Amino acid sequence: MIRKSDDQMMTATATDPKSSVLPLLEGSAWPGSTEALALVNDLPVPGTKTEAWKYTRVGKLFKDAFSAPKGDVVVELHARLPFEVTRVVFVNGHFRADLSDDLKVNKGIVIDSLKHHLAHGPVKAHYGQVAPIGDRLFTAMNSAAPTDGLIILATKGTKTSKPIHVLHITTEGKQLIQPRDLFMLHEGANVEVIMEHIAQGNTTASMINSIRESVVGEGAKLTIHLLQNETNGPAHIGLDGVTIATKGNFSIDTTTLNGSLVRNEVNVALAGPEAHAELNGVYVLNGTTHCDNHTYIGHDVPDCTSDELYKGIVAEKATGVFNGKVYVKQDAQRTRAYQSNANILQGDDAKVYSKPELEIYADDVKCSHGCTIGRMDEQGLFYLRSRGVSEAEARRMMAHAFMTDALERITNEDWREHLAGLIDAKLETL
């Protein structure tokens, strides 16, 4: 790191790839921004020698300088979801109250711009604690200068009357957009969130670098549905940091249908007995889309459970990556942890890298992991063709059947039905 003094930073030289982002990270007033900026200067851009990023090359993202994201641009809101939701809109990472619904619909639940609550005690207690920077450059970048984000604070025993639909709209340009969310659920609260990312115009030159920190209290339940369906979309680097207290429940399902370079990282700490985490993923990729699902579940205490299921169909020149690790501490007896990744390749140029991992130090556990990578079942195709089904329709039917068990884990029937339609439409393009 180059410094003028201990408290005065110098911008990196032009030969440093981070020079494309550093000017946008300086001068932020967010908590911990100065310390985070120092770490940005220290930390290298991950390369192929960095194990966690071995199959996802991000150096190219820093090739050219970015501009600051603009929130006051005119956008076109697409049709609302076909079921009741509370819609919250962000444009290029900026909260847009004028495009959002009335957010005071749930008594005891705060839904608002995180920027408006930085001085509040609960925010001070948890901000930056659930997703610490460590050696992660992108976390340091976000912590140095978040654009804005969403705060959800659910008091004891409260429940969302309908899902909170968070719509992120990215407009054309080369912008560095850094959303920062903080979800805090007190004892017995129940919150459901739909996160949807869409692009308007060609946004492939932009980068979204997002962090979401979630604190799930005792007996609370947080459900997140994440949809990435950005045609000509930006690079998307995302981190979910989650801590779950006793008898708490966290589930996330991630569906990736479009995008350029996508990295979905989920880091879960099961911190109280009988805590449970469920991670599900579906990715249907074609073109040159690159999607990397990277998960870590830490079983820190006894009597916790976790379940992961990721399924992907990868066609043309697309690339899918799954790297999931379950870590069981020595004292975490009676752990139950299951992890599975299955993939279908369509075409000679499609690639999948799968690396499920178990690291176990307790002796009273039931854990399993596995992965499969293969082609479409030719015998099944032949059977359907022999019954008069066209080859294209037969492939679509078999692909949909392959995804069924992952989709059935989604408890919200309305959202599951909506996703199934989007996936079917995507399958028709393969």
Render each residue's pLDDT in the chain as its tens digit; 430 residues. Answer: 333 334 444 445 556 889 999 999 999 999 999 999 999 999 999 998 999 999 999 999 999 899 999 999 999 898 899 999 999 999 999 999 999 999 998 899 999 999 999 999 989 999 999 999 999 999 999 999 999 999 999 999 999 999 999 999 999 999 999 999 999 999 999 999 999 999 998 899 999 999 999 999 999 999 999 999 988 889 999 999 999 999 999 999 999 999 999 999 999 999 999 999 999 999 999 999 999 999 999 999 999 999 999 999 999 999 999 999 999 999 999 999 999 999 999 989 999 999 999 999 999 999 999 999 998 877 777 678 788 888 778 888 888 889 999 999 999 999 999 999 999 999 988 8
Residue 202, CB-side half-sphere exposure with 13 Å CA sphere: 1
Residue with tokens 């007190």: 186
Q: What is the pTM of this model?
A: 0.93
Three-state secondary-structure class, residue 96: coil
Q: Which of 117, 222, 116 is nearest to 164 (CA)?
A: 222
d(CA 106, CA 45): 42
User: How confident is the model at residue 7, as a pLDDT?
Assistant: 42
CA distances from 73 to 18, 132, 152, 171, 259 (A): 27, 32, 25, 8, 22
User: How confident is the model at residue 14, as a pLDDT?
Assistant: 54
User: How confident is the model at residue 396, as a pLDDT?
Assistant: 81
d(CA 256, CA 424): 13
- Residue 395 burial by Cβ neighbours in a 10 Å radius (0-12, 13-18, 19+): buried
Alpha-helical (H) ranges within 256-409 are: 378-386, 391-407
Give the orientation angle of helix 33-42 with respect to helix 137-144, to 10 degrees.
150
Structure tokens at 315: 């066609």
Query: Domain residues of the chain, as ranges?
Result: 23-375
d(CA 288, CA 65): 23
User: How confident is the model at residue 400, as a pLDDT?
Assistant: 85
Q: In degrees rounded to 5, what are phi and psi of residue 427?
A: -60, -30
Query: Distance of alpha carbon 415 from its chain centroid, rounded?
Result: 17
User: How confident is the model at residue 232, as a pLDDT?
Assistant: 81
CA distances from 198 to 132, 282, 359 (A): 28, 17, 37
| Residue 56 CB contacts under 8 Å (≥ 6 apart), including other chains | 261, 263, 290, 292, 321
CA distances from 381 to 41, 50, 172, 225, 399 (A): 54, 40, 42, 32, 11
